[in-house]
Amino acid sequence: MSDDGNVIAVAANGEEESAIFFYKQSTSKSGEDVPPDVIFYPSSEDIYWELNGLSMDGNGYAAAAIAGSYIFALTSDGDFLWKYYASGSEFSEYFTTVTVSSNGRYAVAGSVMPLSVYCFTLYIPPYGRDRWEAIKRVHDTEDEIIDALNDLDELGMSLEELSDFISEGGYTYPFTEDGDIANVLNGLYEAYMYLRSKIITSDIPPIPVGSELYNELVSEYGLLLEDYPTVSGRIQLLYAILFGS
């Protein structure tokens, strides 16, 4: 389990095949028969031994597992990282225990016969070294489209009015009607499309004006979602409200 409890890794052996299951956003799930989010089959990497141990780092990014003479590592997205086969000169070594450091840097595995301890680098965390670079990239990308939000804020129209303008006129992108409104709508549409190619990985369902979710959003974040904490998130929500349907 990750430190925050959100990611759970489970190793399980079936009669025919072993698998590692990952559950994500565990603290937000509820109910019965919750399906795993990711399934990894060691056989996909030619590892056919029964799984005998599993450990995950505190961030929930990666895990190390042992299976017979193999130790291998994978991310919680199911991406295989590496494997190691412990072949002693006289014995086949069987790993009996594995533990991953909380920061994900190291995996330590031990075998009893012969008594051995191995230490591996689980992963070199891009999350530490490149974190600021990634944040800067997002920040720079969002800077490219911030004018679209500023123009919306300055227009002085509510989302309901803009939505009515679109639906009553039957307008679609590109908007060529009223100058200021068209500029704002074009700006928001293009901002979303830009982010869709850079940061946003998938569309969210439409959020019609007047729907329960819409009312909750404007109640929480303001009539133009101006208090929403991220630029990309605000643009995505505005797109779902104005253009989603």
Partner 1 sequence: MGGTYGSNARLYYYANSLSREGWQEDLNGSWVFYSMDLRGLDISANGEYFALGLSSGEGSDSFVLFFSEGELMWSSMLEGY
What residue ranges bind partner 1 (CB under 8 A)?
Answer: 1-5, 8, 10, 12-15, 19, 21, 23, 26-27, 29-36, 58
Q: In the complex with partner 1, which residue's Cβ is closer, 12 or 200?
A: 12
Considering the complex, state which of residue 9 and residue 188 has its C-beta at the smaller distance from partner 1: 9
Instruction: Give least dist CB 109 to partner 1, A.
Output: 17
Token pair listed for 230: 């991220």
Secondary structure of residue 73 in the 3-state scheme:
strand
Using the minimum distance from each CB to partner 1, give the nearer residue, 33 or 90. Answer: 33
Of the pair 31, 210, the CB lying nearest partner 1 is at 31
Q: Which H/E stretch holds residue 166?
A: helix 159-169
> Cβ 14 to partner 1, closest distance in Å?
5
Q: How far is the CB of 20 from partner 1 (least distance, A)?
A: 11
Least distance in Å: CB of 36 to partner 1? 7
Alpha carbons 150 and 171: distance in angstroms, whole number: 22
What is the nearest approach in angstroms of partner 1 to the Cβ of residue 64?
Answer: 15
Q: Which two tokens stand for residue 180?
A: 């200021």
CA atoms of 94 and 85, how far apart (whole Å): 10
Query: What is the greatest pairwise CA distance in the chain?
Result: 83
241 burial level (CB within 10 Å; 0-12, 13-18, 19+):
buried
Cβ proximity to partner 1, 35 vs 156, nearer residue: 35
User: Which residue type, as a one-letter code, is found at position 131?
Assistant: R
